[in-house]
Amino acid sequence: MLAVTDNAAAVIRDLTEQEEVPAGAGLRIATDESAGALRLSLAPEPQEGDQVVDAHGARLFLDHDAAELLDDKALDAAVDAEGGVQFAVGEQATHA
């Protein structure tokens, strides 16, 4: 299952707790076959078939293909000086 860093959870919570975002919303990650990439968007609720990940109070909705692709990955995030959000996918840390 996709791991979520504390940084990513904090950024997702900040995004989903804005006034205009409905309660229970989350970050949806879906595959975009035409672009050969992942598409991230705020979603009010998961779509049918989505895997729901609750991590540190942050909700993520992964479509089937994204869930498979990210199964052994970790999601991280950072906010730049201008307030822009950058998400990154990397390998999960292994504990020896």
| CATH code: domain of residue 66 | 2.60.300.12
Q: Please state, in angstroms and rounded to a whole number, the distance separating the CA atoms of residues 63 and 47.
A: 8
Residues 87-93 have a mean pLDDT of: 88
In a domain, 96, yes or no: no
Q: Encoding tokens for residue 9?
A: 């959870």
Rounded to the nearest integer, the mean pLDDT of the chain is 91
Residues 68-80 have a mean pLDDT of: 93
Give residue 53's pLDDT.
Answer: 95
87 closest CA partner among 11, 6, 13, 1: 11
Q: The whole model's pTM is what?
A: 0.88
List Cβ<8 Å contacts ≥24 apart for 83-87: 85/11, 85/15, 87/8, 87/11, 87/40
Per-residue confidence at 34, pLDDT binned at 50, 70, 90?
Answer: confident
Q: How many domains does the chain have?
A: 1
Give residue 29's pLDDT.
Answer: 96
Residues 51-70 have a mean pLDDT of: 94
In a domain, 38, yes or no: yes
